[in-house]
């Protein structure tokens, strides 16, 4: 079973989902049977009340799998209602035709699944079953996921392994399978890869002809970063319009965890709205400041200490075991990093919970922003320290390290002799960027895969050992349940494995890409080939991510979104700091740390920043001009819809005949100049409440205005130009 | 007749407009009578074809006045059609009810006048009369304007002279009278004044306790600039929503001067669109670069030369007449500036014409941007030179001035003795800011007023001299036309004067305010009382502007707009440069030019810039959170409209009874858990094309899912937890 053709051996009929829309896993290992029975009965009852058909099978261990099917008629109605809601909130401009009982076909599997998702998870008041996995009453619902469409996944993965490019159709397919949120990630990834392709070509060129720290290389790179970010912004809007999800954030329902202060009736829509005081939320958000400070300090200190230790050992220490000790700090740091990150993450999650956001979207934004900050500190701080502290100031800082001389480990050295090699930055950049990518790929794709395969093997082994002996005892009324019918066995194994998978978090993948982009933006100039390395890595990464999404994780509920979320701000921030950092690195390292003046260093940074702002402005305007097309199409489409609607409405309801005649009659009264007199009468008739002066004014000339004017022209031309008086007489 | 109560003496009945909606002035002094008669006949014909009623009176000199009245019925229909168009293009969300012949009342005088404006000026193909003042066929139409509503103008001016604040109602009144474009200017002015009120209080405090160049003063000011600009942005959106003009730019018609390359049929709306190649337009826009360079160089050189001469004379020259010569360069510069500005403006206008914009809005944006740049160079460059070149580097630059020593005029001086007084900056700032405001007020309001009064006097005098003698000759058939009937005399005099007024250009007034804001942002820290001076000036200015608008200028056509236009970008740019300039001035001047280091100077600027970006981000987020209300109201309103529409539609057309029963029947099938079996049958029935395996899967359990699950729970709890097997038996 190769990594990229995992379906090759499968019997096509095993790929079918047997009409199962959704699967819920209910685990009851830790509670009393009576309670489990109670809970399970409620679960089934709630699902059936929400019009779901259910089938129960046993899962791994003490768990049950509830297979859910929503009858097409009900589902079609849910889809229709969801479309009406889209229209109500202004997401789509086309009012779907129908009434309360209309049934429509979903356009994509994702649209159908979204409605199933709503049926299963929405609160009962909204017409759902109110199943909230892992929360409150449903704490023991440990998974709640749709089933993968294995056939399409397989064909898509096959297609991707053969070609470099994701076409527009591939993106549409991903959207149709996994919803817009995931599709936006792949679209972003693809856009980023096209961008990096150029960067890689330019990187090879600059490596061959310009060398590291070249000004030309830096300028082209920086320009390219700006173009990429601005282009992606437009592309994102474009896709949002294409996928009809613009502004979709407004219609998200409340999170089940959301706690509101009071209910308010919206004066305009006359509906109840649950409100949590924004002031209180803001105060809670302020907690972010101490948290960020502490997190940054903790991580920063750790990194600085590791760094200092490493330098101390490699540069000053000459005792025994130097070769091994040199790596010790980094190893300790690397080992402790995951647990520190976990600790910080869990604090961050609790803070985000406490901030009490109304919708899952807002929650994700807040959570992602926190993750962003932490990830970037750990990813960039070491290199920042090397580039801007250690190499430039190392020679001056080194003596301070000696203060901590431990017993005889440090020998007394002549500080004036210390010369720190500027190429250290380059070495570190090469090492960190390349190993980082390989490690993260392994950690993200290979490791879970291996773990999963092993776990499955262990499960199978254990099941074989225990089940048969026990199930024989209960064969009387459970045998057909405890032992999978041969017909279903393969299918059920697949369900069980899918349900066991991790939840796919698209934000993590996006952040990983942003991290890569950030590394290139910040330090790319030190090693022009970096983009080549990233390009190769991404060739695997995009396939690995899709592999992970479609085989290792649960199928994510097809959630809609109109962007890649808060990472967009992250990208802009990274571009900005990237340009500052690039200019600073080029200035410092270009001449090997010679001729460095503080004032011209700062001047370089100011110039870089202003250039950034100016170029960004120009690029934005230029790209917007070029990309106006889609937006204009969008507005013309809206116009066309409204126009046809207007025609339909006015065509059916207007008592045309009568009115037209009446109005046309009136119009003809004024339309020829001979009848102006009667026009004046018309006016007089019309303004019955006008003053007598008004009437007199409009009744003044007995002939038409044209004649009156002509007489005036003749008269005036005599008054004003007495010389031309003769001409007039001649005429 | 005092400046602020010009209506005091007028008879109230003279303020009526006698039903005249619009006035056109036709001048024929420079052409043949026959041609004039032809043209005038066409004019009246075109107007009457567009359903206008007309009355002709003579104007001043060789001109005619055509008074236009659009019958209310036709006008009401135009208003209705304009509203439908708003809805079609998504400006308003409420579809007005009616058909092609519906007549509605205009909500405001401005709405009615806008439709009159359309009737008069739109192309014939759009249903107008196609009168394009001063252009092509209608070159001799020298004015085309609605009449002022003198009564309301007077009451509004009176109200304004008594109170400091413009209320929301006042703004609505201005909007109702002059349209949104003008109303936005007054709203901006008011917002700016409230902002400057705080700045003035803080200015007095800092002047008393902190002195000039204080860090605290600078920080508060800069923060306040950011708050102001971000607040105004939100306020602008807010007003655009309130006045229902958001995105109104899309439905503007083509300018009559617009030249298109080709006609394209829009594939979606299926309407003809006139296109001018964007590439060609872009190439033409590129001409801006040489223009801006030349303009900036020309102005800059002139200013630098003036400046150098002035310094040369005041600091080095000791010859005769020094006292007078000192002012000579500035006087020459000031005198030549208007003609240079005019030259540049006319070049700019021709460039904008050449750039060939489709709508008047786009044209205005391009033209205003050019004006902005030129105005700011002349306004700020002298002070920038003083602040950042002359005072800091003067001592070093002075010797170079001696190179140009002319004969014996310059004495040889000891350059080391030259010490340039840093207080010169403050003096210059005080002088320029205060005299500039007073002068511009005089130039803008008082001078035109005086000119107008004198011109009128001269007219009256001349008319009395010439007319009577001539008109006697034509008394036979023109006397009742040439001599105003006593009934109309006052009214006609008013029309004649209004028509003679200048066209009101709101962008000029906005730019003037931006200039003031810019001066404060850039140099305010040098003299904290500047804002106090501006506050006093603005007290007069707002009234002076309204006086000018309502008495000295033609009433502007009530054009819609959703913002103050390109000045918004100008404000942001000024804030940014203002903060850089403030930080630089504080750094340089705080200690009287001592202890200045280049590196820390640059560091200050970088810090200021970063602080600016961070604070702007925070303020933007904060204000948006606070101001979400209006936007939410807007979306709720849209929601409510759509909701009620949906109810109306579905209420009328759905064959409720039949469908509801059918669907309810089906629903009841699944809604109780006892009937799940039949639910499964339903599924089987539904998925007739499902595979046999699928059918078997869903038919598997003979009892309900709940029961099946419970049996499984019992079975599994034994398998997985053999210890708890006993418990189960006990239960």
CA distances from B660 to A105, B633, B654, B663 (A): 19, 34, 10, 5
Residue range B36-49, pLDDT digits in tens: 888 888 888 888 88
Which of B481, B709, B728 has the CB atom closest to A64's CB atom?
B709
- Tokens representing A497? 């494995």
What part of B 662-681 touches A (C-beta under 8 Å)? 662-663, 666-667, 670-673, 676, 679-680
In this structure, what token pair is assigned to residue A221? Answer: 């790179």
Query: Residue A414 in 3-state DSSP?
Result: coil
Residue of B nearest to A69 (CA): B683
Please check whether residue B164 touches A, CB under 8 A.
no
In chain A, how many H helices and how many E strands?
26, 6
CB-CB under 8 Å, A84 with B721: no
Q: What is the largest CA-CA distance in chain A?
A: 131
Instruction: Quote the CA–CA distance of A128 and A120 in Å, as a whole number.
Output: 6
Contact B542, B191 (CB under 8 A): no
ipTM at complex level: 0.78
Q: Closest chain B residue to A633 measured between Cα atoms? A: B268
CB contact under 8 A, B48 and A278: no
- Contact of A723 with chain B, judged by CB distance below 8 Å, is answered with no
Residue boundaries of the structural domains of chain A: 18-146, 159-254+434-638, 675-730
Q: Closest approach of chain A CAs to the CA of B6, in angstroms?
A: 24
Residue (of B1, B477, B562) closest to B238 by Cα position = B562
Question: Which are the contacts of A442, defined by CB distance < 8 A and separation ≥ 6?
Answer: none
Q: With a cut of 50, which residues of chain A have pLDDT below it? A: 1-10, 406-410, 415, 471-477, 652-684, 687, 722-731
CA-based nearest distance B516→chain A, Å = 24
pLDDT of residue B565: 84
pLDDT of residue A8: 44
Query: Between the CA of residue B423 and those of A448, B322, B392, B519, what are the distances in Å?
Result: 71, 22, 12, 18
Q: Cβ contact (<8 Å) for A660 and B100? A: yes
* Interface contact B45-A706, CB threshold 8 A: yes
CA distance A551 to chain B (A): 23
Strand-by-strand arrangement of the A53-58 sheet: A53-58, A63-69, A22-27, A141-146
pLDDT at A409: 47
Q: Check: CB of residue B274 under 8 Å from CB of residue A643.
A: no
Residue in B13, B601, B679 nearest the CB of A53: B679
- Give the dihedral of Cα atoms A299, A300, A303, A307; nearest 10 deg: -170
Q: Confirm or reject contact between A726 and chain B (CB < 8 A).
A: no
Contact check, Cβ <8 Å, A19/B687: yes
Q: Return the DSSP state at A26.
A: E
* Spatial separation of the C-alpha atoms in residues B416 and B412, rounded to whole Å: 12
> Is residue A644 less than 8 Å (CB to CB) from chain B?
no
Nearest Cα of chain B lies from the Cα of A312 at a distance, in angstroms, of 31
- Chain B residue nearest residue A86, CA to CA: B639
Dihedral, CA of residue A276, residue A279, residue A283 and residue A288, to nearest 10: 70
Q: Residue A123: CA atoms inside 13 Å, Cβ hemisphere, count? A: 9
CB contact under 8 A, A639 and B88: yes
Partner A contacted by B66 (CB < 8 A)? yes
Q: Which residues of B touch A23 (CB under 8 A)?
A: none
Sign of CA dihedral B558, B559, B561, B567: negative
Contact state of A482 with B637 under an 8 Å Cβ cutoff = no
Contacts of B638 in chain A (CB under 8 A): 90
Q: Is the Cβ pair A90, B642 closer than 8 Å?
A: yes
CA B112 to CA B75: how far, in whole Å? 7
Q: Are B200 and B208 in contact (CB under 8 A)?
A: no
CA-CA distances (angstroms) from residue B580 to B54, B200, B524, B587? Answer: 59, 21, 12, 11
Contact pairs from chain A to chain B, CB under 8 Å: 422
* The pLDDT value given to residue A719: 63
Question: What local confidence, expressed as pLDDT, does residue A666 receive?
Answer: 31
| Residues whose CB is less than 8 angstroms from the CB of residue A153 and which lie 6 or more positions away in sequence, other chains included | A7, A177, A550, A551
Q: Please state whether beta strands A22-27 and A63-69 pair in parallel, antiparallel, or not at all (unpaired).
A: antiparallel
Neighbours of A210 (CB within 10 A): 17
Residue A470 has its nearest CB partner, among B63, B609, B719, at: B719
The answer to whether the CB atoms of A663 and B77 lie below 8 A apart is: yes
Q: What are phi and psi of A61, to 5 degrees?
A: 60, -155
Q: Is B77 on the interface with A (CB under 8 A)?
A: yes
Best mutation target among B576, B630, B716 (most A Cβ atoms within 10 Å) is B716
DSSP per position, A335-383: HHHHHHHHHHHHHHHHHHHHH--SSHHHHHHHHHHHHHHHHHHHHHHHH
Q: Is the dihedral of CA A240, A243, A248, A249 positive or negative?
A: negative
Please tell me the distance in Å from A322's CA to the nearest CA on chain B: 41
Chain A residue numbers with beta carbons less than 8 Å from the beta carbon of B67 are 697
Q: A254 and A274 in contact (C-beta within 8 Å)?
A: yes
Which one of A72, A84, A482 has the shortest CB-CB distance to B715?
A: A482
Partner-chain contact B643 A269, CB within 8 Å: yes
Tokens in use for A446? 């290979």
Query: A702: helix, coil or strand?
Result: coil
Q: Residues for chain B: how many in total?
A: 731
Distance CA A452, CA A646 (A): 58
Indicate the burial class of B45 (C-beta count within 10 angstroms; 0-12, 13-18, 19 or more). middle
pLDDT, residue B477, reads 47
- What six digits make up the tokens of B713? 């729970």
How far is it, in rounded angstroms, from Cα A288 to Cα A301?
19
> What single string gives the DSSP state of each residue in B363-431?
HHHHHHHHHHHHHHHHHHHHHHHIIIIIHHHHHHHHHHHHHT--TTSBPP--GGG----THHHHHHHHH
Provide the token pair at A490. 């393969």
| B474:A650 CB<8 A | no
Q: In angstroms, what CA-CA distances link A215 with A143, A427, A496, A605, A622?
A: 54, 20, 57, 14, 25
Nearest-angstrom CA–CA distance, A406 and A506: 48
DSSP letter assigned to residue B716: H
Residues of B in Cβ contact (< 8 Å) with A487: 693, 696-697
Q: Are B670 and A466 a contacting pair at CB < 8 A?
A: no
Chain A residues near residue B719 by CB distance under 8 angstroms: 466-467, 470-471, 482
* DSSP letters for A33-88: HHHHHHHHHHHHHHHHHTT-EEEEEE-SSSEEEEEEE--HHHHHHHHHHHHHHHHH
Mean pLDDT (10-residue bins), chain B, 731 residues: 42 68 87 86 88 84 86 88 84 75 86 90 85 85 89 86 82 91 92 92 91 88 93 89 82 78 73 78 84 83 82 74 76 78 86 86 86 83 84 74 51 54 81 80 81 82 64 49 74 86 87 91 90 89 87 88 88 94 91 78 91 91 76 73 72 41 30 39 51 70 69 71 42 36
A365's CB contacts (< 8 A; 6+ apart) are A565, A566
> Is B280 within 8 Å of chain A by CB?
no
**Nearest CB neighbour to B88, from listed A606, A646, A704:** A646
SS3 per-residue string spanning A476-488: HHHHHHHCCCHHH
Residues near B45 by Cβ (< 8 Å), separated by ≥ 6?
A: A673, A706
**b/e for A587-615, b at 16 or more Cβ within 10 A?**
bbbbeeeeeeeeeebbbbbbebbebbeeb
Cβ–Cβ under 8 Å, residues B731 and B717: no
CB contact (8 A) between residue A87 and residue B642: yes
Question: Rounded to a whole number, what is the distance in angstroms from the first to the last CA of chain B?
Answer: 105
Any B CB within 8 A of A275 CB: no
Which residues 84-103 of A are in CB contact (within 8 Å) with B?
A: 84, 87-90, 95, 98-101
pLDDT value for A611: 93
Neighbours of B603 (CB within 10 A): 18
Interatomic CA distance for residues B657 and B238, integer angstroms: 45
pTM of full prediction above 0.90: no
**Residue B417 has what pLDDT?**
53
User: Residue A675 class from Cβ within 10 Å (0-12 exposed, 13-18 middle, 19+ buried)?
Assistant: middle
Query: Which residues of B, range 220-239, sit inside 8 Å of A by Cβ?
Result: none
The H or E element containing residue A109 is: helix A109-121
CA dist list (Å): B464 to A690, B386, B458: 32, 56, 10
Closest listed residue to residue B182, CA positions, set B556, B511, B568, B567: B556
Which candidate, A158, A182, A162, places its Cα nearest to that of A171?
A182
Asked if A700 lies within 8 A of B55 by C-beta distance, the reply is yes
- Residue keyed to tokens 């952040």: A511
């Amino acid at each position: 079973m190769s990594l990229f053709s995992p379906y090759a051996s499968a019997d096509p009929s095993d790929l079918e989902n047997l009409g199962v829309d959704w699967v819920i896993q209910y685990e009851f290992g830790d509670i009393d049977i009576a309670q489990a029975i109670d809970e399970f009965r409620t679960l089934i009852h709630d699902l059936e009340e929400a019009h779901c058909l259910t089938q129960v099978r046993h899962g791994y261990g003490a768990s049950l799998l509830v297979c859910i099917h929503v009858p097409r008629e009900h589902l079609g109605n849910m889809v229709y209602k969801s479309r009406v809601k889209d229209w109500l909130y202004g997401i789509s401009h086309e009012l779907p035709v129908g009434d309360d009982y209309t049934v429509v076909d979903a356009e994509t599997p994702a649209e159908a699944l979204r409605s199933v998702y709503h049926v299963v998870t929405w609160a009962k008041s909204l017409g759902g079953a109110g199943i909230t996995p892992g929360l409150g009453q449903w704490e023991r619902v440990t998974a709640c996921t749709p089933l993968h469409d294995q056939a399409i996944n397989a064909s898509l993965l096959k297609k991707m392994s053969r070609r470099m490019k994701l076409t527009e159709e591939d993106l549409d397919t991903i959207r149709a399978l996994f919803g817009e949120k995931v599709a936006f990630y792949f679209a972003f990834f693809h856009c980023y890869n096209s961008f990096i392709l150029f960067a890689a070509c330019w990187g090879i060129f600059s490596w061959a002809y310009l060398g590291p720290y070249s000004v030309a290389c830096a300028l082209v790179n920086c320009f390219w970063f700006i173009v990429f970010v601005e282009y992606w912004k437009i592309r994102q809007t474009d896709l949002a319009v294409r996928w009809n999800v613009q502004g979709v954030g407004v219609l998200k329902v409340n999170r089940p965890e959301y706690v509101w202060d009071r209910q308010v009736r919206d004066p305009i829509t006359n509906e109840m709205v649950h409100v949590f005081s924004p002031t209180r939320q803001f105060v809670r958000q302020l907690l972010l400041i101490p948290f960020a400070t502490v997190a940054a300090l903790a991580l920063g200190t750790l990194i600085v200490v590791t760094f200092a230790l490493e330098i101390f050992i490699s540069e000053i220490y000459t005792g025994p075991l130097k070769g091994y000790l040199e790596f010790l700090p980094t190893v300790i740091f690397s080992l402790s990093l995951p647990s520190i990150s976990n600790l910080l993450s869990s604090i961050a999650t609790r803070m985000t919970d406490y901030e009490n956001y109304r919708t899952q979207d807002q929650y994700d934004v807040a959570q992602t922003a926190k993750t962003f900050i932490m990830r970037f500190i750990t990813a960039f701080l070491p290199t920042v320290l090397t580039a801007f502290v250690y190499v430039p100031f190392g020679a001056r800082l080194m003596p301070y390290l000696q203060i901590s001389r431990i017993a005889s480990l440090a020998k007394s050295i002549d500080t004036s002799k210390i010369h720190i090699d500027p190429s250290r930055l380059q070495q570190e950049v090469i090492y960190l960027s390349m190993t980082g990518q390989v490690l993260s790929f392994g950690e993200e794709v290979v490791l879970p895969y291996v773990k999963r395969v092993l776990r499955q093997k262990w499960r199978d082994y254990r099941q074989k050992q225990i089940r048969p002996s026990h199930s024989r005892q209960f064969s009387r009324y459970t045998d057909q349940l405890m032992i999978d019918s041969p017909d279903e066995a393969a299918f059920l194994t697949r369900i069980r494995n899918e349900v066991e998978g991790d939840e796919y978090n698209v934000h993590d993948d996006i952040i990983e890409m942003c991290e890569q982009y950030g590394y290139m933006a910040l330090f790319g100039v030190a090693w022009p080939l970096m983009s080549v390395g990233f390009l190769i890595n991404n060739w695997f990464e995009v396939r690995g991510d899709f592999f992970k999404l479609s085989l290792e994780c649960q199928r994510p509920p097809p959630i809609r979104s109109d962007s890649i979320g808060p990472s967009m701000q992250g990208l802009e921030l990274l571009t900005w700091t990237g340009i500052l950092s690039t200019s600073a690195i080029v200035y410092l390292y270009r001449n090997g740390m010679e001729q460095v003046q503080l004032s011209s260093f700062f001047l370089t940074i100011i110039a870089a920043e202003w250039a950034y702002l100016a170029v960004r402005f120009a690029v934005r305007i230029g790209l917007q001009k070029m990309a106006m097309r889609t937006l204009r199409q969008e507005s013309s489409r809206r116009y066309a819809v409204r126009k046809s609607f207007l025609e339909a409405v006015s065509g059916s309801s207007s008592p045309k005949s009568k009115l037209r005649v009446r109005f046309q009659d009136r119009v003809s009264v004024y339309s020829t100049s001979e009848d102006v007199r009667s026009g004046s009468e018309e006016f007089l008739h019309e303004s019955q409440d006008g003053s007598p002066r008004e009437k007199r004014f409009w009744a003044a000339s007995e002939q038409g205005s044209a004649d009156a004017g002509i007489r005036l022209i003749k008269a005036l031309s005599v008054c004003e130009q007495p010389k031309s008086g003769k001409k007039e007489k001649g005429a």
